Amino acid sequence: MTTTELEPADAVPPDTTDEPALLAWLARMRDEHPVWRDRHGMYHVFRQADVLAVLRDPATFSSESSRLAPASQKVSRGMLTQIDPPEHRRLRSIVSGVFTPKRVAALEPRIREITRTLLDGAGTEFDLVDVLAFPLPVTVIAELLGLPEDDHPLFRSWADRLFSMQVDDPTDPSLGERVAEAMADIVGYLTARVQERRSEASDDLISALVAAGLDDEEAAHFSLLLLLAGHITTTVLLGNAVRTFAEHPGTWEQLRSDPTTISAAIEEVLRLRSPFTMAGRVTNSPAEIGGVTIPADRFVVPWMLSANHDERAFADPEAFVLDRGIGGGAQTAFGHGVHFCLGAPLARLEGRVALEELTARYSALSPAEVSTGALEPYPRGVLGVRRLPVKGVRSY
């Protein structure tokens, strides 16, 4: 058994605001330090085989981090991403029927209607996030939850606040209060909606959570996860797709000429620019990953972005290859194992419909020339931008 030590020169991973630096660092870590212990004692895992091993073994690598991270205690109840089986299975089953391939496919006409309405108001120069990438998925998930359209702007400000939080050391005692403060408004809002459904149920996901017996806190936290995860992945995916296509001349034209290739293009964008770069686990018992012994009660950080760029799993991983033929479990953008993203089918559908409509309306569409800072990239954990001014050529 071996151990791995802190690499002094790289005590802090590059931020997602510097994508090239982050990808270069991940490549070097895969080669030189595939399992790396950082200055906080957390173990980072970089190669695809090792990342999958962690994600597939919830008995050893637990999502219930509250015993090591006090901040998690305030939000763990009802939060699927921080619960292990069998409780995870019980909670997931409450809403899993809504996200089956058949039920998601039935949403396509409504998703297309929303997309067309949003694009009808766009000209040849607009912010893709403002016009489409944010309002499309948030409208869809808000309708599923039963939340009013007038409240959509609130969701964006709350999401930006939460996803902009800097968390270097999850065991930091002060982190709990920061998390509670950042979440107070949205949890309060959702708790009020839960209490309304107790008085008058409706045909929506919040009512389903109440009917399943969840208390106010559990139902509010579950709704929070659905609301945030239900829009941020598609929001980031659409921005990443337009940026990636612009970096590879001819791709937009190819997608226009053969829209059936859009789904494959989405998979390759998800691989190249995975919306969520990493996950968090804690060891229930000592474990060996990549020849490294990790003690019990340690944080483990599997890097999905790194796994998706692993040359051991993908030929020429830095290239955009439209016909690479990957999908599902072949790449880790949506996680893996029991915590595989519940909304992955919905995000894929929203992305496909949006890109079908964009490529049909615009014979060309590319980001405007602005500074990286003007795009407002997410600072940590999410690889994407909060602004994306684009210029297009209308085809009709």
Count of structural domains, the chain:
1
Examine residue 54 and state whether it is found in any structural domain, yes or no.
yes
- Summarize pLDDT for 21-57 with one digit per residue, the tens: 999 999 999 999 999 999 889 999 999 999 999 999 9
Examine residue 359 and state whether it is found in any structural domain, yes or no.
yes
Q: What is the pLDDT of residue 6?
A: 45
Q: What is the pLDDT of residue 166?
A: 64
- Summarize pLDDT for 243-297 with one digit per residue, the tens: 999 999 999 999 999 999 999 999 999 999 999 999 999 999 999 999 999 999 9
**Strand, helix or coil at 390?**
strand
Examine residue 1 and state whether it is found in any structural domain, yes or no.
no
Round the average pLDDT of the chain to a whole number and report it.
Answer: 89
Examine residue 364 and state whether it is found in any structural domain, yes or no.
yes
CA atoms within 13 A on the CB side of 229: 21
Position 311 pLDDT exceeds 80: yes
Position 75 pLDDT exceeds 50: yes
Q: What are phi and psi of 269, to 5 degrees?
A: -65, -45
Examine residue 3 and state whether it is found in any structural domain, yes or no.
no
Q: What is the 3-state secondary structure (H, E, C) of 46-78?
A: CCHHHHHHHHCCCCCEECCCCCCCHHHHCCCCC
Position 8 pLDDT exceeds 50: no
Position 173 pLDDT exceeds 80: no
Examine residue 267 and state whether it is found in any structural domain, yes or no.
yes
**Strand, helix or coil at 184?**
helix
Q: The domain spanning residue 52 has which CATH number?
A: 1.10.630.10
Reported confidence tier of residue 76, pLDDT bands at 50, 70, 90: low
Q: What is the pLDDT of residue 246?
A: 96
Examine residue 367 and state whether it is found in any structural domain, yes or no.
yes
Cα separation of 27 and 29, whole Å?
A: 5
Q: What is the pLDDT of residue 299?
A: 94
Q: Which of 166-175, 349-358, 376-385 has the highest mean pLDDT?
A: 349-358
Q: What is the pLDDT of residue 11?
A: 63
Residue at 358: amino acid letter: L
208 vs 12 pLDDT, higher one: 208
Examine residue 256 and state whether it is found in any structural domain, yes or no.
yes
Beta strands in 218-320 (DSSP E): 281-283, 287-289, 292-294, 299-302
Cα separation of 101 and 85, whole Å?
A: 23
Position 1 pLDDT exceeds 60: no
Among 51-65, 93-107, 377-391, where is mean pLDDT lowest? Answer: 93-107
Q: What are phi and psi of 317, to 5 degrees?
A: -65, -20
The domain in which residue 187 lies consists of 8-394
Cα separation of 131 and 119, whole Å?
A: 7
